[in-house]
Structure 1
Amino acid sequence: MREDEVLKNVRAIFDYGQSDSALIVGNGDDGAVLGPRSELTVLASDMAVEGIHFNFAWSSAMQVGRKVSAANLADICAMGGWPEYFLVALAFPPSFSGQVLELAKGIKNECQRVGVKVIGGDLSRSNEVVISISAIGRVKRPILRSGAKVGERLFISNLPGFSQAGLSLLKSSSDNQSPAANRARMAHLAPDLDYEKYRKSYEYLSSAIDTSDGLVIDASRIATASGVGIDIRVEALINAPEFSELESASGSRESALESALYGGEDHLLLATSDAQDFGFLEIGQVIKGDGIYLDGVRTKTSGGYQHSW
């Protein structure tokens, strides 16, 4: 299949939604053109590589499309913004050509949840599937990692750890088909994020980050950027309404807590605030000093995910 034919078929999938007055030139030219607008523009970019971020041994092409899209949408939301457009670059081997359209449908599926339009991108040949997405959104008040203040509370949009628990089940080819186990698998394969919940929280937040690499390591990034320490209350995680479900999917309380603290790819919103009740789970406090603490005891941040070379 030649490039022009692939592009034609992919563009047909991404030709959806209502007309957009800000989009002067859309998909199909050498570049997209956006007109001026009153709000600030926020941009983010994320890359996903076969064998590192996803595995076709257990993921469908549509699930991968949803998963990589969710990661980009969560980045825009973590800045206090709302996503509007994607630029999608895809490289793939000839053996994947029959699945490209399913991948595109997965991207479209996730984009339509928040009204995002795919307005361009690129195609290339490679030895494995590589997806790079640039997300563009609008923001009134950017929420930075550097905004946390001593005395504020630490919040997270939902209990973390389900993606890590799901990955463990997939890797082990577990035959556990309980509702909790299936929820964990789907949290890893194609997370179901509550973008509107993120959006409604913005007015309360002083700092925020997307939990792509794990609660502890991502909390440490807020702490470092803000020049503060963060104390995570383990009991708050264990007492969360969903912890028993995470424990069931993980096989033990210890494994569930490990996933909650150090598992990545949940793409939840981790934030600080001086507010009390805005629908997030309160799990800690911002303190004087530096570093991350678990119930007052300083802990290392090496447990989360980081690429290494």
Structure 2
Amino acid sequence: MTRTWIFSALVAALVAAAPAPAQKPAADAFLSDFRVSGEYVVEVAGKAQPKAELYFSERARAFLIRSSELPSPVLVSPSAKEVQSLDLMKIQVGANGVIDVLSDAVLSPEGAFRVDGESILFHAGGREVRLRPRPWLLGAHSGAEIGEHNPEYVRRAGEYESDDALVAKLKAAKGQVRVLTFFGSWCPHCKKHVPMLMKVGQELAGANWQFDYYGLPSPFTNEPEAVKYGIKGVPTAIVLVGGKEIGRLPNSGWTKPEAGLDSVLNGTAGSGSR
């Protein structure tokens, strides 16, 4: 029996006897998939908190709030009218920014909330918290300004995966192309589809493309710019080349804006645009 063999046996025995590393609890099956939401502005003790983070989970039908003005994250469930706090260490943030609550998290009741007009009002950590509907974004704005106003647009734009080949084709388009998009920050369809167009605009930065956005109120029947351009519904994206309108993004084109823009440029968009 050699010393090497004895040493190897001792090492193997020590490894076998060592305790296995504790496994991290899995994400809760229900309280998961919280994504950045721009539906409300968070106020604490009567003051807006621009750095507060608001998330919403379609699965849980609940909001998650993180703010330096609150001692711990807060869960707000509108359907159950419940407010609960939890340990910051019991949430995990994925690489894509999506938040899951860990399955062993202890939820501490903070009481019920009440609806105050269009706002949600409650107390958490001994402080009054209000979720106030985000004001409409009106008038002419850049895509970056829309993202500054509502972080959900930034998140949705980041999630969209465009067609690289079509984007490359659009970059080669001749003439100065301008896309003027009318939208409503109050419109759920706009919230879903305009970020996709914003993503395409980002990818065409530096090319001969210009993307402008114009926020409309509700209703917008008598809004001067809406009347000027004959806007009947939102979102509506008008494509202009050399300052002249050549078409509008068809309704079907909003699911893949780069394809819709290509169809307008090559004259195959057809009917169905607003």
- Using the size of structure 1 for normalisation, the TM-score is 0.26
Higher-strand-fraction structure: 2
Flag the structure with higher helix content: 1
TM-score by length of 2: 0.29
